[in-house]
Homo-oligomer: A and B are copies of this chain.
Amino acid sequence: MNSAGYLVNNMARLLVEVLRKRVAPLGIVPGQFPALLALWEKDGLTQKELLSMLDIEQATLANTLTRMERDGLIIRKEHPADARARTIHVTEQGSSIRDDAYRTAMQINEEVLADLSEEETKAFLGYMRRVIGRIKDIEST
């Protein structure tokens, strides 16, 4: 119960709930964050292009986009050259929360790491990247 796996899972659940509470006033939920970040950088992407920037499965993204459209954050338009594809566009509402959302996310990251020194934080992030790399290796075996 004090294993790495347990701690990782616990930490992730706690973190996502903090994020959920903090971004609720903005009208978004945690799962929408990665897609929004990418679309704020580059609007009008297809789902496939957006997918390539995120670490989730295609079906997960499709469903998340449907909820984002329902919530007025994006709209999907038909692709000019490919009738299978659709381009994804952030709405005015989706744009308007951008700065607040960024600030909130950065703030949470800071607060959550506040007990760690700068070097410890760096080490921690490095360990996570190494573990992630290792898991991806394991998976592909």
A106 to B6 CA separation, bound complex (whole angstroms): 11
A1-28: CB near B (< 8 Å → 1, else 0) gives 1111111111111111111000000000
A139 touches B18 (CB 8 A): yes
Contact call A130/B115, Cβ cutoff below 8 A: yes
A26 shortest CB reach to chain B, Å: 16
In the bound complex, residues from chain B placing their C-beta under 8 Å from that of A139 are 14, 17-18
Tell me the nearest residue of chain B to A60, going by C-beta: B13
Contact A112 to B128, CB < 8 A, known contacts A9-B12, A10-B55: no
| Residues on B with beta carbons closer than 8 Å to the beta carbon of A129 | 7
Contact of A131 among B17, B112, B123 (CB under 8 A): B112
Q: In the complex, are the beta carbons of B135 and A15 less than 8 A apart?
A: yes
A132 at the interface (CB under 8 A from B): yes
Q: Is A111 an interface residue (CB 8 A)?
A: yes
Q: Classify chain A's interface size.
A: 35 or more
Is A138 an interface position by the 8 A CB rule?
yes
Complexed CA–CA distance, A22 and B97 (Å): 41
A134-B105 contact given A12-B11, A19-B5, CB 8 Å threshold:
no
A138 nearest CB across to chain B (Å): 6
Pairwise interchain contact A112-B125, C-beta atoms closer than 8 A: no
Say yes or no: A8 contacts B11, CB within 8 Å: yes
Across the interface, which residues of B come within 8 angstroms of A138, CB to CB?
18, 111-112
